[in-house]
Amino acid sequence: MSKILTRKYFAAAAAGLCLVIAYAAQLHSREDRILKAPLSFRKSILDVHSHLACLNNPGCYIRPGFRNTFKFKMYLKASGLQSTDLDRPDADDLMVNAYIKRLNESELYSSAIVYALDGFYDEHGDLDKNKTDILIPNDYIYGVTQKTSNLYFGASINPNKKDAITELEKVHSQGAKLVKWIPCIMGINLKNPPPHVEKFLDKMKELNMPLVTHTGFENTFSWADMDYCDPRNIETVLNKGITVIAAHAAISGKYDEKPGYTYLVELAQKYPNLYVDNSAGLFVNRMGFYKNIFLSHFQGRALQGTDYPLSYVGFAGFQAISLSQFKNEMLPFWYQYAKQTRNIHDLEAAIKIGLGTTLDDIKLSYKVFDIPYKSQVQ
């Protein structure tokens, strides 16, 4: 009898203990509802393509007509700011801080190369403010990156300006990781490069400075001469042995009836010094576009870029739509992660990883720009 009672008490106690454990586990899972990325991916990504704007620091310029456009207001909103914030005297700091906050709060990104952006110059080498929508001086970006340990300096020098080569030597001595061009808004002719452009490129080669150049149609600014962003034009630069990163892999636009990226696929076979970046790469995802182009055609050549603040998923309200189109192609974990994260950088990265981007793909960005990859895992 007593043995039976003891067994009953034991059974009841065991059942009770199970309930307590189950309850505790449930509480725990509630706390842990936000998914954590696998350790190896945490703080692993270098963003090789990001932008800041500025207004009040020396040399900063946003053309008044451009500043008031719907497009520009969208970009501001995507970085978490209001258009009225631009009227504040500390507008530049607000833009920097909003960016650093997003980067530092990201679980997947460690750091970023942030770009200056040069303007349009006339035939005398003088700045044409009517044809320049936005100018972000090298000195400004250099200053920002000096103050922030996980931001690297991406310079921009239009070779058409006076003293372009002197400026190139200066940014090189400051540790600039690259020179960024958008030939179709800067008026840089790479198809038939004039002697001063050739000279500038030779200096880049001598200094071992990589070139990031926009390829494909350009829709961000108020005007653009699309022929100047024809991806075939970059062969001039590749021929010199300069490392070229064809920004966006010319995924937007057709040239001579063929999609722009197909020319880059051909060039990549011929030139080992050609890379592309996958910034804006989710924008045009239709029927496996990202997988097909960046993970298949440019496997081992695609660097990680967000094009902050222009990235597709950056626009409030678009996240759910942009994510749902990838659902069937993504690994289930990363789909859930993307659904839950509040950080727009992490959302974009989760989609890319969920579609098949590997840690080796991620590490390539560090290698190309000679930035040490440190595992951030503690």
| Footprint on this chain of Zn ion (rule: CB under 5 A) | 307
Nearer to Zn ion, 37 or 60 (CB): 60
Distance CA 213, CA 199 (A): 17
Provide, rounded to whole angstroms, the least separation between the CB of residue 51 and Zn ion.
6
Residue whose Cβ sits closest to Zn ion: 307
CB of 174 to Zn ion, least distance (A): 21
Q: How far is the CB of 115 from Zn ion (least distance, A)?
A: 7
Q: Per the structure block, which two tokens stand in for 174?
A: 């400051």
* Residue recorded with tokens 């200096």: 203
* C-alpha to C-alpha distances, 199 to 96, 161, 203, 349, 373, nearest whole angstrom: 34, 13, 6, 38, 33
Query: Hey, CA dihedral for 237, 239, 245, 250, is it positive or negative?
Result: positive
Give 161 or 180: the residue with its C-beta nearer to Zn ion.
180
Q: Which is nearer to Zn ion, 314 or 354 (CB)?
A: 314
Q: Which is nearer to Zn ion, 92 or 307 (CB)?
A: 307
**Which of 108, 91, 172 is CA-nearest to residue 138?**
172
Q: How many residues are recorded in the chain?
A: 378
Which residue, 107 or 307, is less far from Zn ion as judged by CB? 307
Phi-psi region of 269 (alpha: psi -120 to 50; beta: other; left: phi over 0): alpha
Cα separation, 196 vs 149, whole angstroms: 35
Task: Name the minimum Å distance from CB 180 to Zn ion.
Answer: 8
Residue at 136: amino acid letter: I
> Least distance in Å: CB of 214 to Zn ion?
7
Cα separation, 130 vs 289, whole angstroms: 37
Q: Between 221 and 290, whose beta carbon lies closer to Zn ion?
A: 221
Q: How far apart are CA 347 and CA 338, in angstroms?
A: 5
Nearer to Zn ion, 167 or 307 (CB): 307
Long-range contacts at 339-343 (CB < 8 A, ≥ 24 apart)? 340/33, 340/34, 340/35, 341/34, 341/35, 341/107, 343/102, 343/105, 343/106, 343/107
Closest contact distance (angstroms) between CB of 181 and Zn ion is: 11
Least Å distance between CB 213 and Zn ion? Answer: 11
**Distance in Å, CB of 307 to Zn ion, minimum:** 4
Please give the radius of gyration of the chain, using alpha carbons only, rounded to the nearest integer.
24
**Whole-number Å distance between alpha carbons of 328 and 113:** 32
Which amino acid type is present at position 181? Answer: W
Nearer residue to Zn ion within complex by CB, 307 or 346: 307
Q: Which is nearer to Zn ion, 307 or 361 (CB)?
A: 307
Closest CA to 254 of 273, 275, 229: 229
Count the helix, strand and coil residues of the chain and give each as a percent rounded to the nearest 5.
50, 15, 40
